[in-house]
Amino acid sequence: MRGRYYFRSGSTNIELTGNSLNEFLLKKFGKTWDDVTGESFSADNLNLGTIETFKRLAIDRIPGIMSETDPVTLIDKLNLLENHKFKRAAILLFGSNPQRFFNYAHIKIGKFDSDVDIVTSDIVEGNLFDQVEGALNILKTKYLKSQIFYEGIHRRDKLEYPFLALREAILNAIVHRNYMTTSATQIRVYDNRLVIINEGILPDEIKIEDLKIDHLSKPRNTLIAEVFYKAGFIESWGRGTLKILSECKNEGLPEPEFESRGHQFSITFRKTDLKTDLKTDLKITDFEEQIIKIILSDEKTTIQSIAVQLGKGITVTKDYIKGLKNRGIIKRVGPAKGGHWEINLRGGRF
């Protein structure tokens, strides 16, 4: 066994090789992947715009940061420099072209008709700050639908999945990703679900069920996590998954599914399939379906707002609502002002 490393699984000794061995050795010496220097990266490769943006974001958690004018000194103060060499975390966070050094460090987004049939795809590159913003913008503008509604005269757009939950999930993927592999972070968009897949399983100390309760966070890339924390991207370590669950619950969506399998971790967001559940079971019309969706997204909405979103007059809208009420699918609770709607997806009786 000399020169080889093993770990015990039950009664079996399993040899550590490849990335598993590299990660074990780093951990043995108190290091994480992002805490190692990148030999060929220099100050000329820094993205000064990203550094200035970080300074503005971090001003609440690092008082006086705006007075630091030298980018290299700032990088050093963030513990991203060692023996005058930039660490991998610095390259990924503040590099102008990190893919030149780690060409697999990007995010892939794809729209799928099935598990094998892809309709369209995008690759989000740049540093990690760019990737968070870029992935969310592409999802909003190209891959996900937004429901439009009005609060008074103000137009509001609501994504089919909560924006804050998606943002938190993408940040978690970046912080906990195993960057020693050559697979990209993937975001797969289907008609009825969205899946974020990352290479990098949970630490042994944390189980899937722990993600649904208060738990300590053990970021795989501690320096990346620390910088995101100082930028205000991560509010409180160990509560990211709780925030995801809470946002989905508040929107009336199913609880996201966490899975750690093989070498990868995934989170699956699902949405209620109203077309199947309602139109088949309750035999509702297209306009009635739209009304139910509007109420599901805002139980305090008004008939006037519903009419605007349907593009129908008040009288016609009231007729649709009356039909849904008569079949026991919706009812109004409380006064016109200050009341709310309730929905019975089974129909017939509340």
How much of the chain exceeds pLDDT 70, in percent?
Answer: 83
Beta bridge partners of 236: none
Dihedral, 169, 175, 177, 181 alpha carbons, nearest 10: 140
How much of the chain exceeds pLDDT 90, in percent?
Answer: 56
**What are the domain boundaries of the chain?**
17-96, 107-270, 274-343
- Distance (Å, rounded) from C-alpha 165 to C-alpha 254? 13
Q: Is residue 43 helix, strand or coil?
A: helix
- Distance (Å, rounded) from C-alpha 94 to C-alpha 52? 10
Q: What mean pLDDT do residues 80-105 have? A: 96
Segment 203-218, tens digit of pLDDT? 878 888 888 888 777 8
* Alpha helices (runs of H) in the chain, residue ranges in sequence order: 18-28, 48-57, 71-77, 88-94, 128-138, 163-176, 222-230, 240-250, 274-281, 286-297, 303-310, 314-326
Segment 104-148, tens digit of pLDDT? 999 999 999 877 789 999 999 999 999 999 999 999 999 998 877
Block residue for tokens 């609440």: 60
C-alpha distances (whole Å) from 56 to each of 31, 61, 266, 267, 339 are: 29, 10, 32, 31, 42
Q: What phi, psi does 264 have (nearest 5°)? A: -125, 155
- Distance (Å, rounded) from C-alpha 277 to C-alpha 270? 14
Sequence-separated (6 or more) residues with CB below 8 Å from residue 93: 50, 54, 80, 127, 128, 129, 224, 227
- Distance (Å, rounded) from C-alpha 293 to C-alpha 339? 18
Q: Is it the case that residue 1 has pLDDT exceeding 80? A: no
- Distance (Å, rounded) from C-alpha 298 to C-alpha 301? 5
Beta bridge partners of 154: 151
- Distance (Å, rounded) from C-alpha 298 to C-alpha 157? 12
What is the fold, at CATH topology level, of the domain defined by 274-343?
Arc Repressor Mutant, subunit A (1.10.10)
CATH of the structural domain 107-270, one choice from 3.30.565.60, 3.30.70.360, 3.30.450.20, 3.40.50.300: 3.30.565.60
Arithmetic mean of pLDDT over the chain? 85
Block residue for tokens 């995801």: 244
- How does residue 27 score in pLDDT terms, banded at 50, 70 and 90? low
